[in-house]
Amino acid sequence: MADKRERYTSSRRAALCAGMVALAAALLLPQIAHAQSYPNRPVRLILPFGAGGVADVTARLVTEKLGEKLGQRFVIENMPGAGGINAARAVLSSPADGYTLALFSNGTAISVSLFKNQTFNPVTDFVPVSSMGYFDFIFVTKTGSPYGTLADIIKTAKEKPGALNIGTINVGSTQNLAAQLFKSTSGVDVTIVPFRSSPEVLIALLRGDVQMAIENYSAVQSHIADRAVTPVSSSGIMRTTFLPEVPTVKEAGGGNFEARSWNAIFAPKGTPPEVVATLNAALREVLDMPDLKKRALDLGIEARASSPEEILDRLKADVDKWAQVIERAGIAKQ
């Protein structure tokens, strides 16, 4: 009798275990199928910038290869607008299925503190996928001017407070805030002059209206090649690969300075983890391709993937960092 009861209990346990396994498999099946079939139609990547800039160029380089890798087109959509609000709304209003993605940048981190009407939180409303590229800014002076090094700028600025001007693009841009940070870390009194575009910054430098400019490498590359401007420093922690002879701001006596920008792909909150994993794995392969790395480096971009956690940590750190710079500089919310 006891043997019979024991056999019955064992059979019941086996049936229960089998049922649980079947249930788990049924629950996982849609996710596995989704991961295996993704992407099965074109994917949109929405940029908060116009065409032709560093972010746009980076995105087009990467998505071309990403499309080849995953067998579907990745379509770039440019939606410029203050604070990236237009682009973020477009992504958040789309299904969280991996077919509408957002490009975030260092500017996204800045926008949290800069714009009073920002209706989204990049940290909590989105999930990170991977970084695409990192890039430093170049400090340049007019060739033949008295300012052949960053040390010359710092020395003159300390001897003659308020006498020197630094040109950047618009207030609140990373270049503009990098100038504010430079004032703080180097302890100099200079006037930061914002312009609407990179060409206007360079014209002002060559005309002598500003004594130094802070810009993307792609914006000053041809002027460096023509020897019209002299690169006196780069903004990262380490020297750049494309201008290895140029010291960092910290090396040149500018204090504990670092201002590096980045581009990354994020997806709306709720996007299936397996879709994020598929994209991250593909991006790691694509961004490690030698031809893509070279094309990006020619533009001053270090093409490099990251884990989702790494780029989220970078976003959070930059939100805090630039909030302090904005507050210290007394920049009003826009």
Q: What is the C-alpha separation between 4 and 12, in angstroms, rounded?
A: 12
What pLDDT is recorded for position 118? 85
Q: Mean pLDDT, to the nearest integer, of 72-100?
A: 93
Cα angle 190, 318, 288; round to 5:
115
Within 8 A by CB and 6+ apart from 195, the residues are 167, 168, 169, 170, 201, 204
Beta strand extents in the chain (DSSP E only): 43-47, 74-78, 100-105, 126-142, 165-169, 191-195, 212-216, 229-234, 260-268, 302-303
User: CB-based contacts of 76: which residues, under 8 Å, 6+ apart?
Assistant: 45, 47, 56, 59, 60, 63
Residue 158 one-letter amino acid: K
Q: What is the pLDDT of residues 263-296, one digit of tens each?
A: 999 999 999 999 999 999 999 999 999 999 999 9
| Structure confidence by residue, pLDDT tens digits, 160-187 | 999 999 999 999 999 999 999 999 999 9
Residue 15 has pLDDT above 60, yes or no: no
**pLDDT (0 to 100) of residue 33:** 45
pLDDT of residue 12: 55
Handedness of CA 186, 239, 166, 225 (dihedral sign): positive
- Summarised one tens digit per residue, pLDDT across range 19-57 is 444 444 444 444 444 446 899 999 999 999 888 888 898
Least confident of 38-52, 74-88, 144-158, 239-253: 74-88
Q: Which of 75-79, 100-104, 111-115, 179-183 has the lowest mean pLDDT?
A: 111-115
* In the chain, % of residues over pLDDT 90: 81
| Mean pLDDT of the region 322-329 | 95
